[in-house]
A and B are shown apart, each in its own frame.
Chain A
Amino acid sequence: MWGALRQKSGLTTLVSSLKHGQVLERFAPMASTPLRQLSTAAKEMTVRDALNSAIDEEMSADPKVFLMGEEVGEYQGAYKISKGLLQKFGPDRVLDTPITEAGFTGIGVGAAFYGLRPIVEFMTFNFAMQAIDQIINSAAKTYYMSAGQISVPIVFRGPNGAAAGVGAQHSQCYAAWYGSCPGLKVLTPYSAEDSRGLMKAAIRDPDPVIFLENELLYGESFPVSAECLDPSFCLPIGKAKIEREGKDVTITAFSKMVGYALQAAQELEKEGISAEVINLRSIRPLDRATINASVRKTSRLVTVEEGFPQHGIGAEICTSVVEESFEYLDAPVERITGADIPMPYAANLERLAVPQVEDIIRASKRACYRAVPMSAVA
């Protein structure tokens, strides 16, 4: 399955290199067919617009939905995701909060107890650490502690993971932290279609949802089908998407790493390795069925994530595959993760600290028992 790919490096502005392709969700063309443009792949949309339109439509449809966070109103959103919403819905529904994460997260949770549907924006999920008590103890656990009396239909959203040169305190990926907590649903969209569909599903969901976006993806454009633009469009929570079908090695990724994995798959194709790329979309619940089915087909696994290696998403996927599809594995499972260090600032060090396309290519070749150099090239 081909998505539109973007090249990006460091702090340079986005450069588009559009690849044509079908945008049907479920089926993929044969991997090696020449590029074809079908009538469904007409419009393009950035992730930013996708999120904005999804929130806009859900707020129009249900008056109980409201948005709250720092700079979401008059500033039009720290990353302009909530642009125009204040003008459209007014200050009662788009609330600029003081810089009090624990306080306003708790307010959102309490409002959700009473049937309102807040969307709480964190400027980045790093700041959500100040509110993590409310997220875990008040939001995630309440439905269980109250034995089903009080549900918490809240969405926590914001950018997650590394951006460009923002340093250690602004670059952590929280997918593994939230993914280990029962009571939360954790979503990681990649494309515009993912963003729209999963955001709508998250807002309509009666449980707390952690919606991990990526700052560097906000400006990227992806083709969207007419179905995707429909206001009732929704993607199921807990289902991964096979972005590209293949038969030699399974590469799982989420968020920005999906783009890298697709690029790596393209490169591997030239060397005769057909890679299947799975866009996880949902960290919790993890779509183990799809991952295992894919590994049973290809017999090799490479997981890619941007976060820290220990106890990461890759660790969970590898274990799941070893537990369920051990006999099908032809090679040891491979994990590509961020480096086990706080994120450095220098541009070249930062590049070394997050996975690059070459790392994915090397790991896939290792899984296929091709000879590769072990160390990265600085």
Chain B
Amino acid sequence: MTTMSTARIPPASSPCIARKPKASSNTGKLPRVYVKPGWLRKDLMGSNLRFSEFRSAKLPCSPLTVSAIASASELVKERIETKSELLVTREEGLELYEDMILGRSFEDMCAQMYYRGKMFGFVHLYNGQEAVSTGFIKMLKAHDSVCSTYRDHVHALSKGVPARAVMSELFGKTTGCCRGQGGSMHMFSKEHGVLGGFAFIGEGIPVALGAAFSSKYKQEVLKDEKANAVTVAFFGDGTCNNGQFFESLNMAALWKLPIIFVVENNLWAIGMSHIRATSVPDIWEKGPAFGMPGVHVDGMDVLKVREVAKEAVARARRGDGPTLVECETYRFRGHSLADPDELRNPAEKAHYAARDPIVSLKKYLIENNLANESDLKSIEKKIDEIIEEAVEFADASPLPQRGQLLENVFADPKGFGIGPDGRYRCEDPGFTAGTAQV
């Protein structure tokens, strides 16, 4: 093996960068997209890296059928015909566009605010991965849940948490979605079904599994027909080497829980390349090993992600169990705002920058006459205003009061830190603001 420290980018002349089959129609419409497991990854990684045996050294462009994916063939079928059928309606398309623009603008504003000192600590930005968040979360219903990692701002926004609440939380103000007590990495919203926000990788997956479990329990034991919520767990490529990931895959398949495991494989865990860290880099392949379908999808294309999401969510809601979806995506910025991002190859960054999901969707909408430039411009303007307003709101919001410090440790704090007179044990009797919900 030669060095595996960076993923190899195929030369620009290689036709295999294209992720769609050669367009046979020349109507100007893009051919029907389809999800092709695996062959993208091969091109990306170059030929001197170890691969599963069935992925032989054929012409890189020949479509390869993967035996493991065949077991999940009811989930994703290879669409060989290029029917000129649109994947989204105008409304849906605009909704997707707006959500991705919201995510991108918000994260850009976060970077600005961080460098101005308004935000502090650890901030992990989602630029470049919007297609995954939008593609999945916009297929969910309001009562479904989302569980994320520290890169959770955009998941919270897509799920419906208002931008001003997220921005305030990042500023550490009391009007934040967690009253300033969570921070960038711990976005919780009971109302919108956002379960956080976990700093430890792999930690959120079993918790997401618990949410899925509660859905199944409510249906089967508590006989609540309406409890058909599904859970989507987002996590990265680094997490897929962690024990909790495998434990969760096992139990999800064993108990057929309504969960979708979404791997946002952006190839890098801080500075550790996925290829250097993983014996078998194809994460989607690990699904069938545990008895669930594993799918690989181009995570830079929101429409493809949406197609996969549609099937996976329907599968979970039907009661057919979990799905593992590996989204090949990329983060345009470093791991966090403190990361100098020196290890990644500029050619790799450029390659993915050219596949910006927002630009791709914009192109699709315009080319298919679903929207015109001015529609999209007005969306961008609207989002800009929302973000500006969110910043102003966060700026103007008060910091948490002193009395908030000891609150919300327990749901039932009686007996804890309470003196015989029934008040919090502290020198200052007015210490608690009494604003906690007890």
- B206 and A103 within 8 A (CB): yes
Q: How far is the CA of A285 from the CA of B419 in the complex (A)?
A: 11
Given contacts A103-B251, A104-B251, A238-B414, contact A147 B207 (CB under 8 A): no
Q: Does B54 contact A (CB under 8 A)?
A: no
- B437 and A110 within 8 A (CB): no
B residues sitting closer than 8 Å to A (CB atoms) are: 145, 147, 178-182, 186, 188-191, 195-200, 203, 205-215, 217-218, 220-222, 243-244, 247-248, 250-251, 254, 407-412, 414-417, 419-420, 436-437
Q: How close is A131's CB to chain B, nearest CB, in angstroms?
A: 9
Q: What interface size band does chain A fall in? A: 35 or more
Interface mask (A79-114 → B, CB under 8 Å = 1, otherwise 0): 000000000000011000110101111111111111
Residues of A contacting B222 with CB < 8 Å?
63-64
Q: How far is the CA of A64 from the CA of B414 in the complex (A)?
A: 24
Q: Which residue of B lies closest to A293 (CB)?
A: B420
Q: How far is the CA of A106 from the CA of B239 in the complex (A)?
A: 15
Q: How many A-B residue pairs have CB under 8 A?
A: 166
* Residue from B197, B199, B410, B436 with most neighbouring chain A CB atoms (10 Å): B410
Residues of A contacting B182 with CB < 8 Å?
145-147
Q: How far is the CA of A114 from the CA of B219 in the complex (A)?
A: 13
A-B contacts, 20 listed (Cβ < 8 Å):
A100-B250, A102-B247, A103-B248, A106-B248, A107-B206, A110-B210, A110-B212, A111-B210, A114-B215, A116-B213, A138-B203, A143-B408, A143-B410, A143-B411, A146-B196, A206-B411, A207-B410, A207-B411, A207-B412, A237-B415
Residues of B contacting A106 with CB < 8 Å?
203, 205-207, 209-210, 244, 248
Q: Does A133 contact B (CB under 8 A)?
A: yes
Q: Which of A134, A151, A206 is close to B206, meaning CB atoms less than 8 Å apart?
A: A134
Residues of A contacting B211 with CB < 8 Å?
110-111, 113-114
Q: Does A375 contact B (CB under 8 A)?
A: no
Residues of B contacting A143 with CB < 8 Å?
408-411
Q: Which residue of B lies closest to A63 (CB)?
A: B222
Q: How close is B422's CB to chain A, nearest CB, in angstroms?
A: 12
- B416 and A238 within 8 A (CB): yes
Q: How far is the CA of A151 from the CA of B415 in the complex (A)?
A: 17
Query: In chain A between 137 and 178, which residues have their CB closer than 8 angstroms to a CB of chain B?
Result: 137-138, 142-151, 153
Q: Does A256 contact B (CB under 8 A)?
A: no
Residues of B contacting A63 with CB < 8 Å?
221-222
Q: How close is A210's CB to chain B, nearest CB, in angstroms?
A: 13
- B221 and A102 within 8 A (CB): no
- B415 and A110 within 8 A (CB): no
Given contacts A63-B221, A97-B251, A182-B409, contact A113 B210 (CB under 8 A): yes
Q: How far is the CA of A297 from the CA of B288 in the complex (A)?
A: 68
Residues of A contacting B179 with CB < 8 Å?
147-148
Q: Does A189 contact B (CB under 8 A)?
A: no
Q: How close is A358's CB to chain B, nearest CB, in angstroms?
A: 35
- B410 and A185 within 8 A (CB): yes
- A137 and B203 within 8 A (CB): yes
Q: How far is the CA of A148 from the CA of B248 in the complex (A)?
A: 27
Residues of A contacting B181 with CB < 8 Å?
144-147
Q: Does A44 contact B (CB under 8 A)?
A: no
- B178 and A102 within 8 A (CB): no
- A102 and B244 within 8 A (CB): yes
* Residue from A102, A110, A145 with most neighbouring chain B CB atoms (10 Å): A110
- B221 and A112 within 8 A (CB): no
Q: Does A66 contact B (CB under 8 A)?
A: yes
Given contacts A145-B197, A146-B190, contact A92 B244 (CB under 8 A): no
Q: Which of B178, B214, B248, B437 is close to A111, meaning CB atoms less than 8 Å apart?
A: B214
Query: In chain A between 182 and 240, which residues have their CB closer than 8 angstroms to a CB of chain B?
Result: 182-183, 185, 205-207, 236-239
Residues of A contacting B186 with CB < 8 Å?
145-146
Q: Does A35 contact B (CB under 8 A)?
A: no
- A98 and B214 within 8 A (CB): no
- A183 and B188 within 8 A (CB): no
Q: How far is the CA of A107 from the CA of B213 in the complex (A)?
A: 7
Q: Does A29 contact B (CB under 8 A)?
A: no
Q: How close is A264's CB to chain B, nearest CB, in angstroms?
A: 28
* 7 other A-B residue contacts (CB within 8 Å) besides A206-B410, A285-B416: A113-B207, A113-B210, A137-B198, A142-B196, A144-B181, A146-B178, A148-B437
